[in-house]
Amino acid sequence: MAFVLHQTCGLAVRALPVVFDCDPGKDDAFAIFLALACPDALDVLAITTVGGNVPIERTTGNAIRILTAAARTDIPVYRGCARPMLKALETAEESHGFDGLGGSGLPEAAGPPESDHAIAAMIRMLEKSPEALTIAAIGPLTNIAMVLIARPDLAHKIGHLAVMGGAKGRGNMTEFAEFNIYVDPHAAHVALSVCAPITLVTLDTTRNLRPPMSWFETMEGANAPASALAGMWRDSPIALYDVAVTALLLWPDLFKLEPCTIDVVLDGERAGQTVIAMGQGKDRLITGIEEEALLSRIMQVMNR
């Protein structure tokens, strides 16, 4: 699996090309800011958006706002699927604010996204890339599933699908289901069935990644992204769910991974539940995070 081990954002021999498929969202914003702070470790090729935490108009605008704050408007943003494959969209404004970046103070998007749809853009990137790409999937998996339905022959060009989603224990949308999988379980079923290898970062291992407000205030004055993040978490704190995916790509030494197989329940009261069998399989589940070391490294990077 093509992980890049990176300790200081200055030692990587070669940056890992990665596409962020996301629904910004506060923790999406943090995950993207962290990746952009380490350009010698992660080469962010593009951001594709999907309806999720807030509707697609806002997730797409938020992606552009994030790149503007990070002075990386050279990275293209592609608007993707507005709704799940087979059901209505359910959003999470209560956690992220009406605009998805509640309290950030970021300016409005300076311009529109690229004209191509995210599905067409992802197909083109996979076709043209001389190597398999990493996709950091930190929203509902609708875009990725649609790419795989349209072009199943490109599945092998996704060298690593790192997903924030699912839960072995209690969910956060229902007793059984985590938000990203619950929003579009049919897309999750397609993506998790076809892609390999997959690393699943679940609710169980990230729900305790909740640094105190003082942690955000320590980095608040460092730069515009850090100040924006402090504003978001002061407004309404949540766990660093999506941030763990970026951190996994940067610092896999801080994560414990175990082989598994993953299935998704599609119907009934358990719709959106991830059924995870441990011990063997093509995929890997994060079962532990060195949380103090992780927060220390994030702080070091964001204060740069």
Each residue's pLDDT tens digit, 43-56? 999 999 999 999 99
Q: How many CA atoms lie within 13 A of 203 on its CB side?
A: 22
Query: Can you tell me the distance from the alpha carbon of 134 to that of 235, in angstroms, rounded to the nearest whole number?
Result: 32
Confidence band (pLDDT; 50, 70, 90) for 12?
very low
Per-residue CA distances from 93 to 36, 96, 148, 154, 279 (Å): 25, 5, 29, 34, 37
- 178 vs 8, more confident: 178
Q: Which CATH superfamily is domain 17-302 in?
A: Ribonucleoside hydrolase-like (3.90.245.10)
54: DSSP letter = S
- Averaged pLDDT, 134-148: 98
- Look at 239 and 1; give whichever has higher pLDDT: 239
Q: Residue 1: pLDDT above 70?
A: no
Residues with Cβ within 8 Å of 153's Cβ and at least 6 positions away in sequence, in order, are none
Band (pLDDT 50/70/90 cuts) for residue 3 is very low
The DSSP bridge pattern shows strands 255-264 and 283-289 to be: antiparallel
CB 181 within 8 A of CB 165: yes
pLDDT confidence of residue 8: 46
pLDDT at 255: 98
Looking at residue 196, what is its pLDDT?
A: 82
Which strand (E) or helix (H) includes residue 198?
A: strand 198-201
Rounded-to-integer distance, Cα 115 and Cα 121, Å: 10
Task: Answer left, alpha or beta for residue 25, where phi above 0 means left and psi between -120 and 50 means alpha.
Answer: left
Q: What is the pLDDT of residue 9?
A: 57
- Quote the CA–CA distance of 54 and 30 in Å, as a whole number: 16
Length in residues, the chain:
304
Average model confidence (pLDDT) for the chain? 94
Q: Tokens at residue 248, please? A: 């996994």
Classify the C-alpha dihedral 184-187-189-192 as positive or negative: negative
Closest residue by Cα to residue 85 from 241, 261, 242, 271: 271
Instruction: Give SS3 for 161.
Output: strand
Q: What share of the chain is helix, strand, coil (3-state, %, to 5)?
A: 40, 20, 40
Q: Is the pLDDT assigned to residue 6 strictly greater than 70?
A: no
Average pLDDT for 240-249? 98
Identify the CA nearest to 165 among candidates 176, 177, 181. 181
At residue 13, the pLDDT reads 64
Q: What is the CA radius of gyration of the chain?
A: 17
Question: What's the whole-number mean pLDDT along residues 146-169?
Answer: 97
**Residue 93: pLDDT band by 50, 70, 90 thresholds?**
very high
Helix/strand number for the chain, H first, E second: 12, 9
CB of 223 closer than 8 Å to CB of 92: no
Distance CA 272, CA 167 (A): 10
Token representation of residue 27: 């923790």
Mean pLDDT of 240-259: 98
For the cut 50, the answer to whether the pLDDT of residue 267 exceeds it is yes
Query: CA-CA distance, 171 to 180, in Å (whole number)?
Result: 10
Residue of 298, 214, 217 whose CA lies nearest to 254? 298
Q: Say yes or no to pLDDT of 11 above 60.
A: no
Q: How many CB atoms lie within 10 A of CB 210?
A: 13
User: Stretch 264-269: mean pLDDT, rounded?
Assistant: 97
Instruction: Assign 290 to helix, strand or coil.
Output: coil
The structure's pTM equals 0.95
pLDDT beyond 90 at 5: no
Report the percentage of the chain scoring pLDDT > 90. Answer: 89
- Is pLDDT above 50 for 183? yes
Determine the average pLDDT of the residues in 96-114: 92
Looking up tokens 């990493």 gives: 134
| The predicted structure's pLDDT at residue 91 | 98
